[in-house]
Homo-oligomer: A and B are copies of this chain.
Amino acid sequence: MPNYLRSHHCAQLRIDHLNQEISLSGWVHRRRDHGGLIFIDLRDHNGLTQLVFDPDVNSDCHTLAHQLRSEWVITIKGTVIKRAQGMANPNMVTGEIEVQVNKLDILSQAKTPPFSVCEETEDIKEDLRLKYRYLDMRRGKLVKNLQMRHKVMHQVRNYLVDIGFFEVSTPILCKATPEGARDYLVPSRIYPGSFYALPQSPQIFKQLLMIGGMDKYFQICQCFRDEDLRADRQPEFSQIDIEMSFENIDSLFKLTEEMFTTLYENCLDKKLKTPFKHMTHKKCIDDYGTDKPDLRIPMHLCTFNDFAKKSTFSIFLNALEKKCLIKAMKVPGGADISRRMIDQYTEFVSQFGVKGLGWFKMQDDKLQSSIAKFFDDSLQQEIIKHTQMNNGDLLFIIADKENVTNQALDHLRRHIAKERDLIDKSKDAFLWVTDFPLFEYDDNLELQSSHHPFTAPHPDDLDLLDSDPVKVRSQSYDLVLNGYEIASGSQRIHDPEVQQKMFTLLRLTPEEIKHKFGFFVSALSYGTPPHLGIALGFDRMMMIFLDTENIRDVIAFPKTQKASDLMLEAPAKVDGEQLRELKIDIDSEEIL
């Protein structure tokens, strides 16, 4: 076996190393034959170095080098020399030098890869990249992403450890809990018919650590949800999980902001302005139609009900009678939007159930539109004043059920911002959203937790718990970055009676409470400190840091949107013997 230990990495050699005897190991990236000389770009995780095989220097090496093909693994010894006049490559950090090889060993040959591993090749189908994930890594970008992910992870740990937090690992083999999403189950062999569940989050454990007196906990951990996946979701995902006792929301906000400031400085080389903006959930919905607005977009919504009421436009008047919400959004400079484009936007909002998209353009200090005639001059001036429209602006208006209007305008706002390039990408817009409702209605108009059932109600709203629970605000908060919810947390209930009341309001029977949360309600009753926490979606954070919209770009071995691993070919059939040991059968009739 040849000695493949390296003296340097492939991005390390400079003109300073001239005439030094060095050794390198790596992959053949490119080979070029040039008038008797053979040039090899040798690649490792750090970069490239050009090797030159000169028959006059070492004819054995030169002969052997003829065999080399892309992706073969080799180790060489040689001398650092200056590249010939005019041959320096200013785009390579090692571009001034090359290595004249006097010893070559082939460590591994390679079949022709199914796609080029050059970083520049862009149009490779993602399925192929996932199947050959290890080859995709050699293309450079993915490894750089994983290195940055590592760096951020390590910075998070160092920051939290420095301010007194302890990382504690919590179990993966847990118990099914109704946290909203579907659990992954693991059949137990020792207790046939019983199952573990993979954790949707370490929520219960971190609260138990607080009850146990751990004081300040964190963990970077894997969580699991068996949901139908969206583009930015994976069945298993990483979370930065933080919990602390005897602290308040202000100190949690401060800690989080300092953590991001540190990450931005040390990993992204950017400065952040703190404190972050705050906005109540209500104001978010009023101004942006969503609880995770991208504040980099210079457009916002305003209610239009009062103007509609004063108009003679029957569609709006009918909508008002049906208790619809009418809202408008100004597009600065949008008067250049053609009728055809407006039709396309109308089509766009129709996917959210909206039947029509009203609009005004402002030209010559007047509103122009097919419906302008239903708005008299003074009403038009009122609208212009209220929306601060200028000549050349456009106003879109939607009248529909409250959540439909909000959802459609939120999407339209983001759609137009992207299309018209209105987002200032040099900025990062952090926003704390607070005062969420404690409950929301599910599809059957029954109360369900907006966050989770351990969230403390707002102290000012405790009286409403019995009389009008849906009006109760919670002590929960989300952190939004550039329109993505990247973190979520709350002050927890530390009073077992309040916790019991929450479960009752969520219509859990005493048996269900006992079965699902019995041990937890019991734990609360042995002296629980006030505590609160936050969980950050680490994968999504990395997506934003690395400016990608594909969550798979920030994960070493991700799954597809159909939750399969194309490389492993998992999930897969297993031996019947394994299932017999677990005492489970596959319901094959249903499958066929």
Chain A positions within 8 Å of B, measured between CB atoms, are 1, 4-6, 25-28, 43-46, 71-73, 75, 107-111, 113, 131-138, 142-143, 146-147, 149-150, 153-154, 157, 161, 166-176, 182-198, 204-205, 208-209, 211-215, 222, 224, 226, 235-236, 238, 246-248, 251, 459, 494-495, 515, 518-519, 523, 525-530, 555-557, 559, 562-565, 567-574, 578, 580-588, 590-591
Contact = CB atoms under 8 A, between A and B. Distances in A.
B519 A567 contact: yes
A185 B574 contact: yes
A4 B246 contact: yes
Contacts of A109: 527
B173 A153 contact: no
B527 A73 contact: yes
A132 B459 CA distance: 30
A207 to B, nearest CB: 9
A102 to B, nearest CB: 19
A382 B24 CA distance: 58
A303 B220 CA distance: 52
Contact of A110 (B166, B246, B518, B526): B526
Given A5-B251, A591-B583, A572 B175 contact: yes
A583 B578 contact: no
A178 B528 CA distance: 45
Contacts of A568: 174-175, 204, 519
Contacts of A136: 212
Given A134-B526, A213-B44, A213-B138, A571 B5 contact: no
Contacts of A578: 176, 182-183, 185
A591 B193 CA distance: 8
A562 to B, nearest CB: 6
A197 B568 CA distance: 11
9 contacts: A46-B215, A73-B530, A75-B246, A108-B495, A109-B527, A111-B525, A173-B236, A175-B571, A205-B557
A71 B526 contact: yes
Contacts of A565: 171, 173-175
A568 to B, nearest CB: 4
Contact of A190 (B28, B137, B562, B584): B562
A292 to B, nearest CB: 26
A4 B224 CA distance: 35
A279 B528 CA distance: 53
Contacts of A161: 154
Nearest to A193: B586
Nearest to A519: B567
A542 B525 CA distance: 32
A590 B192 contact: yes
B169 A110 contact: no
B246 A526 contact: no
Contacts of A523: 132, 134
Given A44-B213, A185-B574, 20 more contacts: A5-B248, A25-B246, A26-B529, A73-B529, A108-B495, A134-B208, A134-B526, A168-B556, A169-B222, A171-B565, A173-B236, A173-B565, A176-B578, A186-B571, A191-B564, A194-B571, A195-B572, A197-B574, A204-B568, A580-B587
